[in-house]
């Protein structure tokens, strides 16, 4: 078993082991008392069909009372409507502050269930059991929780750290290839912002052969960043490399372009802008595109630049007329650059780098 301990405002372990899903109940009993707490499991219908029985069985065997809420899979469910249904479910099942929520699924389940945990009864504890590669290496760690509203992604949210993360990489075997690729985009993001050695590994290795190590390595990068800046006021912003443009593409396409695919295109576009501004060189872009293609990810945006600009200007990272852009000048070397939205608009439209 690989363990990464995150020392944020809450100290918690991320436990990573192939095949551990059937033991998640006993692993949880190390930190929550089965005699005093109910596990309120929240998941989506796809994950429920695959893994809910195993998880319920494991929690019950460990002595927990369990209740379950299942919602339709997909980004559209990360909404206020489904959130209100989650609150109703928690109330109907008499879930109190001594109980805890279990987010079983991908980033949509984790963000929604985490936000419910952050806000229900002014906050109850929760744990994450990520079942997508993206959730395992990124969204289940660090405490960002949110729902979407029509004006944009993640506009309503809270920082709320989990008490435990249990990751069984065997669950990735049932992912659609494109959903696994979504996680690969975040993995490549970590390499670009943090480590030449890691990027070199990704350029050559078969990640399936060392998936536990890869998950632990990515989580450990996130740990180092979150421990320095839990609330996203400084260095944590580098985790948003490619995200402003990526979120914009997700929104324009009504999420038919998924998060990881949007981030992949976003990293390419921001790197093109960086070249135009003299902040990095063409070989870095070539390398980024090659590694994205290796993991079956897109490298081009085929929509309208005007839509991209409109959508970016609604990004929550915007502060007044300033938008914060994350540039990578060399692998592992990042700059957080505040830019006036007028200049950003001009740069995107004049140079149409798509």
> Could you list the residues that contact ligand GLY (CB under 6 A)?
138, 142, 144, 232, 236, 239-240
Pattern 63-92, ligand NAD, x by CB under 6 A: ----------xxx--x--------------
Pattern 3-42, ligand NAD, x by CB under 6 A: ----------------------------------------
Asked if 111 touches ligand NAD (CB under 6 A), the answer is yes
Minimum CB distance to ligand GLY, residue 136 (Å): 13
List 39, 134, 219, 248, residue binding ligand NAD (CB under 6 A) = 134
Element (H, E) at 11: strand 11-16
| Residue 55: strand, helix, or coil | helix
Q: For the residues of 268-280, what is the DSSP string, one character each?
A: HHHHHHHHHTTSS
56/185 with CB nearer ligand GLY = 185
Q: Judging by beta carbons within 10 Å of its beta carbon (0-12, 13-18, 19+), is residue 286 exposed, middle or buried?
A: exposed
Rounded to the nearest 10 degrees, how much is the dihedral formed by the CA atoms of 272, 306, 266, 6? Answer: 130
Cα–Cα distance measured from residue 351 to residue 29, given in angstroms and rounded to the nearest whole number:
56
Cα–Cα distance measured from residue 162 to residue 11, given in angstroms and rounded to the nearest whole number:
9
223 binds, among ligand NAD, ligand GLY, none (CB under 5 to 8 A by kind): none
Asked if 107 touches ligand NAD (CB under 6 A), the answer is yes
Encoding tokens for residue 168? 């069984």
Element (H, E) at 147: strand 144-149
Are 216 and 348 in contact, with CB atoms under 8 Å apart? no
15/109 with CB nearer ligand NAD = 109
CA distances from 309 to 7, 244, 246, 248, 338 (A): 38, 10, 12, 8, 16
* Cα within 13 Å of Cα(310), Cβ side: 9
Cα–Cα distance measured from residue 162 to residue 185, given in angstroms and rounded to the nearest whole number:
24
236 binds, among ligand GLY, ligand NAD, none (CB under 5 to 8 A by kind): ligand GLY
Asked if 142 touches ligand NAD (CB under 6 A), the answer is yes
Minimum CB distance to ligand GLY, residue 138 (Å): 5
Asked if 303 touches ligand NAD (CB under 6 A), the answer is no
74 binds, among ligand NAD, ligand GLY, none (CB under 5 to 8 A by kind): ligand NAD
List 23, 223, 259, 261, residue binding ligand NAD (CB under 6 A) = 259
Nearest-CB residue for ligand NAD: 107
The contact set with ligand NAD (CB under 6 A) reads 44, 46-47, 50, 73-75, 78, 105-109, 111, 131-132, 134-135, 138-139, 142, 144, 153-154, 171, 174-175, 179, 182, 259-260
């Amino acid at each position: 078993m690989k363990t990464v301990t995150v020392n944020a405002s809450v100290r918690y372990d991320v436990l990573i082991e192939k095949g551990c899903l059937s033991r998640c109940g006993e692993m949880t009993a190390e930190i929550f008392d089965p005699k005093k707490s109910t596990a309120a499991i929240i998941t989506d219908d796809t994950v429920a069909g695959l893994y809910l029985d195993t998880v319920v069985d494991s929690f019950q065997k460990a002595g927990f009372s369990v209740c379950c809420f299942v919602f339709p899979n997909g980004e559209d469910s990360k909404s206020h409507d489904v959130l209100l249904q989650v609150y109703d479910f928690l109330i109907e099942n008499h879930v109190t502050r001594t109980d805890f929520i279990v987010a079983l699924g991908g980033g949509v389940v984790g963000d929604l269930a985490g936000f419910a945990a952050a806000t229900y009864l002014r906050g109850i504890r929760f744990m994450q059991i990520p079942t997508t590669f993206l959730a395992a290496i990124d969204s289940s760690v660090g405490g960002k929780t949110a729902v979407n509203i029509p004006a944009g992604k993640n506009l309503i949210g809270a920082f709320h750290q989990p008490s435990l993360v249990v990751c069984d990489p065997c669950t990735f075997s049932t992912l659609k290839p494109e959903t696994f690729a979504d996680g690969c985009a975040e993995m490549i993001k970590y390499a670009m912002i943090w480590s030449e050695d890691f990027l070199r590994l990704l350029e050559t290795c078969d990640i399936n052969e060392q998936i536990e190590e890869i998950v632990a390595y990515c989580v450990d990068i996130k740990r180092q960043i979150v421990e320095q800046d839990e609330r996203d006021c400084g260095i944590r912003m580098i985790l948003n490399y490619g995200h402003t443009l990526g979120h914009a593409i997700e929104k324009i396409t009504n999420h038919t372009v998924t998060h990881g695919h949007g981030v992949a295109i976003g990293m390419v576009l921001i790197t093109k802008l960086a070249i135009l501004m003299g902040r990095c060189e063409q070989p870095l872009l070539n390398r980024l595109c090659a590694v994205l293609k290796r993991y079956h990810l897109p490298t081009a945006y085929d929509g309208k630049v005007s839509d991209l600009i409109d959508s970016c200007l609604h990004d929550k990272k915007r502060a007044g007329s300033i938008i914060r852009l994350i540039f990578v000048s060399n692998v592992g070397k990042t700059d957080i650059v505040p830019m006036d939205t007028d200049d950003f608009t001009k740069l995107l439209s004049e140079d149409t780098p798509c």
